[in-house]
Amino acid sequence: MTDFAARRAQMVERQLRRRGIEDERVLAAMEAVPRERFVPARARHRAYADSALPIGAEQTISQPWIVAAICQALELGGSERVLEIGTGSGYSTAVLARLAAEVVSVERHEELARGAREALAGLGIANVELRVGDGSLGVPERAPFGAIAVHASAPEAPPALVEQLADGGRLVVPIAADSVDALTVLRRRGDRVEAESLGPCRFVPLIGEEGF
């Protein structure tokens, strides 16, 4: 086992399983995806730190627990088409790609999207469609989505994303508040949308027509 592989295994046990991540598919995906391939070379020694890390363009790669918590809340079975808002480094995209049939990911920074494409291609991940644009508007022509993950805080759940959610689908989004964001899951049940807070978190703001 390589040093990075050993650190991934420790991350899963110490940072995830012990802190309430119980979905075995999520835990397996987190252990399988090499996080060190998605961080800048200068930060590679901190790839499995229990914290967010800068990736350029004033953006960050979320701490492992946040990525796992979002994936667990999406309750993916493996057959879904997932919409991801905020590709960033592509790390969470790679995790989602192991949990769903297809991932459509939107990033507003061209340079981050380019790096994410290279990292995903380097790992042979082929079930991802990566776009550059305003993620707050989603990708209506590919809707409906069985699950939607938003990696930036919004003043409310963007209506366009709620509209693109399939019946029975889950949308996980950080809702901005004065002191701390609230990681929130919304579930569509016919014409009703039920919201549940998963706990406090901290994200960069969602920039776009239906964000900030």
In this structure, which amino acid lies at residue 143? A
Range list of H helices, 49-199: 64-74, 91-99, 110-122, 159-163
Length, in residues, of the chain: 212
Tell me the pLDDT of the chain averaged across its residues.
96
The pLDDT, as a whole number, for residue 21 is: 98
Domain residue ranges of the chain, discontinuous segments joined by +: 3-201
CA–CA distance, 30 with 193 (Å, rounded to integer): 29
Q: What is the CA radius of gyration of the chain?
A: 16
- 60 bridge partner residues: 54
- Candidates 51, 62, 79, 89; catalytic one: 62
**Averaged pLDDT for residues 55-70:** 95
Q: Is the pLDDT of residue 22 over 70?
A: yes
Residues 86, 153 contacting (CB under 8 angstroms): no
Task: Give catalytic status of residue 62 as yes or no.
Answer: yes
- Give pLDDT tens digits for 150-185: 999 999 999 999 999 999 999 999 999 888 999 999
The pLDDT, as a whole number, for residue 95 is: 98
Q: Which CATH number fits domain 3-201: 3.20.20.480, 3.40.50.150, 1.10.275.10, 3.30.70.1520?
A: 3.40.50.150
